[in-house]
């Protein structure tokens, strides 16, 4: 069952793997990673609606996964 705590933990793991992927492919960090880091600073125990927390976490998980799959297409050309 999805809870704010499990989706928070899933986002934390996906974010770490995504940042590692950026490092391995030698790509720069984008606004999506900064936004995700900011969201991870808000603990799931805060008094916000569970649907809002889980929706935000799941949305950012999807952004991170799509970003990892299409990293070469989404990143600017490094041969400047």
In terms of phi and psi (left: phi > 0; alpha: psi -120 to 50; beta: otherwise), the region of 10 is alpha
Nearest alpha carbon to residue 2 among 66, 46, 56, 39: 56
Average the pLDDT over each of 21-25, 30-34, 53-57, 70-74 and give the range with the smallest value.
Answer: 70-74
Q: pLDDT confidence of 72, banded at 50, 70, 90?
A: low
Average the pLDDT over each of 9-18, 25-34, 38-47 and give the range with the smallest value.
Answer: 25-34
Q: Is residue 80 part of a domain?
A: no
Q: Is residue 60 part of a domain?
A: yes
Q: Is the pLDDT of residue 49 over 50?
A: yes
Q: Is residue 46 part of a domain?
A: yes
Q: Count CB-CB contacts under 10 A for residue 69.
A: 11
Domain, as residue range, for 44 = 11-73
pTM of the model: 0.77
Q: Is the pLDDT of residue 19 over 90?
A: no
Q: Is residue 5 part of a domain?
A: no
Question: Looking at residue 7, what is its pLDDT?
Answer: 92
Q: Is the pLDDT of residue 55 over 60?
A: yes
Structural domains of the chain, count: 1
């Amino acid at each position: 069952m999805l809870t704010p705590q499990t989706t928070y933990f899933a986002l934390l793991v996906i974010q770490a793997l995504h940042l590692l992927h950026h490092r391995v492919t030698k790509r720069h960090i984008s606004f999506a990673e900064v936004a995700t880091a900011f969201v991870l600073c808000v603990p799931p125990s805060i008094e916000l609606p569970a649907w809002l927390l889980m929706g935000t976490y799941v949305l950012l998980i999807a952004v991170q996964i799509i970003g990892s799959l299409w990293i070469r297409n989404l990143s600017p050309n490094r041969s400047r």
